[in-house]
């Protein structure tokens, strides 16, 4: 009799959950690469396997379908290295407990071996089930890799700073977080409202040339970008020294109210060919207003990209040669800069911004 033993040294991860896009987003997040670069196989009725040299992710059918794949998968291979249950932002603890109970009944897998992955913005609190934050998933996988003495094929360093795109040109990464506030800040006339409209893909905010500030109140508009619910908050110039403190305080209060409890990424909007005295100490003003961690959550958005194009300059070239005061601000924000041309409707610029935002979000989840 011939015994065929299939021996795989890969880390096998089963991904369970009710929302297909979230399961795929988790794989993307873990590997730091787009699913399109992985090998994909379909097995059973509705199960997809994605693998590279190190990992094998079994992406199971949604739990609320009647498909019996999950039962079969466990009966064939009860020894996945990790079984992760992906849950939605705003999940109900009761529902999750029920899903775990059902899975345990269906597959015989002990409940403590089914680990819930918390959505990105969730902090470590007590839950009546086993759970990991995304960071804990990373460390668990690193440990498994060490135990199996495998080298990660994912060469991306998890140290957030070195992983940062300088120009946002890194590959698109989806996020497990579902909501973010992009707070547009900066002096009047720099192009905050125009940039907000570019992000939204629609003219929601009033934007026009004027010697007087056009935006006089904070305003929020919402959109979906790559599975992420983005709340764009446009603001008047809150840092103008001529603004009455009481008026400024009113705007700041309103801006904070509009942010609700979601994660915030501050987008400091600046005119690419104009750096003014009012902007020299803008980071200090931001810190005084939004707290000392604000730098870690700030992306600098330069408007009027056309000006650089006309001068045949790249963003990198511009950043390299800009004046020391501006350079200092950029460095303090870890070189997170993007270039917009608000006259253009190219979605590429928004995508680059969102890539940079995703880096901030991953880091923010760590610092909170």
Ligand X SMILES: Nc1nc2c(ncn2[C@@H]2O[C@H](COP(=O)(O)OP(=O)(O)O)[C@@H](O)[C@H]2O)c(=O)[nH]1
Interface residue list for Mg ion (CB under 5 A): 192-193, 215
- Site size for ligand X (CB under 6 A): 20
Query: To the nearest whole angstrom, how small is the minimum distance from the Cβ of residue 269 to Mg ion?
Result: 9
CB of 306 to ligand X, least distance (A): 6
Question: Which helix (H) or strand (E) is 303 found in, with range?
Answer: strand 298-303
DSSP class of residue 243 equals S
Q: Which stretch binds ligand X (CB under 6 A): 36-44, 133-141, 148-156, 183-191?
A: 183-191
Give the dihedral of Cα atoms 240, 302, 268, 226; nearest 10 deg: 150
Residue number with CB closer to ligand X (204 or 336): 204
Which of 48, 51, 173, 341 contacts ligand X by CB under 6 A?
Answer: 341
Q: At 292, is the secondary structure helix, strand, or coil?
A: helix
Tell me: does residue 306 bind ligand X (CB under 6 A): yes
Say which entry of ligand X, Mg ion, none residue 165 contacts (CB below 5 to 8 A, set by partner kind): none
190 binds, among Mg ion, ligand X, none (CB under 5 to 8 A by kind): ligand X
φ, ψ of residue 221 in degrees (nearest 5): -135, 150
Q: Is 188 in the site for ligand X (CB under 6 A)?
A: yes
Task: Map the footprint of ligand X across residues 231-290, applying CB under 6 A.
Answer: 269
Q: Which is nearer to ligand X, 86 or 194 (CB)?
A: 194
Is 88 a binding residue for ligand X by CB under 6 A? The answer is: no
Binding site partner of 208, from ligand X, Mg ion, none, Cβ cut-off 5-8 A by kind: ligand X
Q: Tell me if 308 contacts ligand X by CB under 6 A.
A: no
For the bound state, the minimum distance from the C-beta of residue 205 to Mg ion, rounded and expressed in Å, comes to: 6
- Binding pattern to ligand X, positions 196-215, x when CB under 6 A? -----------xxx----xx
Calpha distance 181→361 (Å, rounded): 11
Q: Which residues contact 106 (CB under 8 A, 6 or more apart)?
A: 70, 71, 74
The residues, any chain, with a CB within 8 Å of residue 85's CB and separated by 6 or more, are 16, 17, 96, 99, 100, 103, 114, 115, 116, 117
> What tokens appear for 287 in the block?
């810190």
* Residue 56 vs 341, nearer CB to ligand X: 341
| H or E stretch at 300 | strand 298-303
SS3 letters for 95-131? HHHHHHHHHHHHHCCCHHHEEEECCCCCCCCCCCCCE
Residues that bind ligand X (CB under 6 A): 188-194, 207-209, 214-215, 269, 303-304, 306, 340-343
């Amino acid at each position: 009799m011939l015994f065929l033993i299939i021996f795989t040294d890969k880390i096998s991860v089963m991904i369970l959950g009710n929302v297909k896009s979230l399961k795929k987003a988790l794989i993307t997040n873990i590997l730091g690469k787009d699913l399109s670069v992985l090998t994909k196989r379909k097995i059973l009725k509705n199960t997809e396997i994605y693998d590279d040299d190190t990992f094998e992710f079994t992406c199971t059918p949604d739990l609320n379908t009647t498909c019996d794949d999950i039962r079969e998968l466990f009966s064939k291979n009860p020894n996945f290295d990790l079984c992760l249950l992906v849950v939605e932002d705003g999940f109900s603890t009761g529902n999750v407990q029920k899903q775990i109970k059902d899975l345990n009944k269906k597959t015989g897998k002990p409940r403590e071996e089914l680990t819930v992955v918390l959505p990105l913005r969730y902090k470590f609190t007590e839950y009546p089930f086993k759970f990991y934050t995304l960071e804990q998933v990373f460390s668990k996988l690193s440990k498994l890799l060490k135990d199996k003495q495998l080298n990660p094929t994912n060469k991306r360093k998890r140290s957030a700073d070195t992983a940062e795109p300088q120009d946002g040109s890194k590959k698109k990464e989806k996020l497990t977080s579902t909501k973010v506030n992009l707070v547009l800040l900066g002096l009047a006339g720099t192009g905050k409202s125009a940039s907000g409209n570019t992000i939204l893909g629609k003219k929601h905010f009033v934007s026009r040339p004027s010697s007087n500030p056009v935006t006089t109140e904070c305003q929020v508009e919402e959109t979906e970008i790559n599975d992420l619910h983005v709340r764009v908050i446009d603001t008047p110039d809150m840092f103008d020294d001529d603004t009455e403190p009481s008026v400024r305080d009113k705007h700041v209060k309103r801006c904070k109210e509009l942010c609700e409890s979601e994660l915030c990424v501050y987008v400091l909007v600046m005119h690419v060919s104009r750096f003014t005295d009012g902007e020299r100490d803008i980071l200090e003003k931001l810190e005084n207003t939004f707290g000392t961690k604000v730098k870690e959550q700030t992306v600098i958005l330069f408007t009027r990209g056309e000006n650089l194009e006309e001068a045949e300059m790249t963003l990198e070239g511009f950043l390299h040669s800009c004046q020391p005061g501006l350079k200092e601000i950029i460095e303090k924000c870890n070189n997170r800069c993007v270039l917009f041309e608000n006259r253009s409707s190219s979605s590429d610029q928004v995508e680059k911004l969102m890539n940079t935002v995703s880096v901030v979000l991953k880091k923010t989840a760590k610092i909170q």
